[in-house]
Chain A
């Protein structure tokens, strides 16, 4: 950690969080291609669907939310492998485990940075893709809200999988096998919210459940990820 102050004990938890997030963001900015690949993958997967199933507007409008959500899920899987790998290879992760500060907070910082780099761009890109699928304005807003609530959960659950498979052969495929089943509830409520708009029902239950998942995940997953990292680094 090149930016660590001289006396680590004086570092407050929010300060620590800011430090980790800032470091990861800076590292990512040095290699912009990695971030862009994820985004381009997302756009391409979504654009492939109209080519595959045909350009009927009615059908596209119906499946838009599902397609965007599944593509977001796959795109966030794609970048999971990088979450801890670079730090693991150059020894930074070992120093983080030894650090006097709480590992959970460090992990939370890494999750936040991962979401800013792979989740947030997808959320910002989603409305444009939604327009390609001829979604209504209201459905677009709900899609953005559901993605905003849901993509952090994907990053958090993904962090557990990434930590468990750290440094394994074929970790990339394995992490999808572990993480995808656990992400199904997020997918169901995320697409359910958009579907509720088009069928004229109330949106709030779906969004509230997504919010509940977010709260639950942010309480437990940093801690579980820290445990998994300790197991992987033994």
Chain B
């Protein structure tokens, strides 16, 4: 786990260095475009983390495995953070580019719904005292909410609105190499951050739930 955290910190530093100092200035958008180096990875992660969370929740609900439900609840705050960062940086980018902080565009709205879904998941989990029931109830909610993720992803295709479409495609890209490098480095850094945070949180959840067991009492940190 510390490995992921260190890797994330190094990659963040390296990626943001390329993004802010090496990558050339954009012709149309000048310096402000550099926000995308944070915005795009955060948005991608906010969707992926939701899918992974819903996947873990589904596994927990179907096979009744305790650890996968714990992973789902450990991932939720990280996902909510990414959704929030994505909306926040999007607003900061929208002000100089579109001349407004916020538009009621399909992708922005659906990303906002994603944030609400994360918050609903966390709130539902927090308000049920019995952890097993909390796991199952919020798992059901996570699965229902996963309908939203494809809507966000395809929203720029389905509704042709202000938010631009995808630049990076599997068939090739129209981006400068240094920009691409910066964005992918930050993306990997975000992945590492999400993994490190989720593992750290799941560790605490396990300890909290198993606090009455013998193996927790035998831990050197507890014994002293």
Measured CB to CB, the residues of A under 8 A from B are 160, 164-165, 168-170, 174, 177-178, 180-182, 184, 224, 227-228, 231-232, 234
Contacts and interface: CB of A to CB of B under 8 A. Distances in A.
A224 B144 contact: yes
B217 interface: no
B123 A231 contact: no
Contacts of A181: 113, 116-117, 120, 145
A177 B120 contact: yes
Interface in B94-118: 109, 113, 116-117
9 contacts: A177-B116, A177-B120, A178-B120, A181-B117, A181-B145, A182-B144, A184-B113, A224-B140, A231-B137
A160 B144 contact: yes
B140 A184 contact: no
A232 B119 contact: no
Contacts of B145: 181-182
B162 interface: no
Contact of B124 (A174, A224, A234): A174
B60 to A, nearest CB: 12
B141 A178 contact: yes
Contact of A177 (B113, B119, B133, B137): B119
Contacts of B140: 160, 164, 224, 227-228, 231
Interface in B16-50: none
A164 B119 contact: no
Given A177-B120, A177-B123, A231 B141 contact: no
A169 B127 contact: yes
Contacts of A169: 127
A170 B123 CA distance: 11
Interface of B: 109, 113, 116-117, 119-120, 123-124, 127-128, 133, 136-137, 140-141, 144-145
Contacts, number: 45
Contacts of A184: 109, 113
Nearest to B143: A224
B127 A170 contact: yes
Contacts of A177: 116, 119-120, 123
B123 A232 contact: no
A227 B145 CA distance: 16
A232 B136 CA distance: 9
B109 A164 contact: no
A231 B143 CA distance: 15
Central interface residue in B117, B119, B120, B123, by most chain A CB within 10 Å: B120
B109 A228 contact: no
A231 B136 contact: yes
A12 B174 CA distance: 63
A155 B120 CA distance: 19
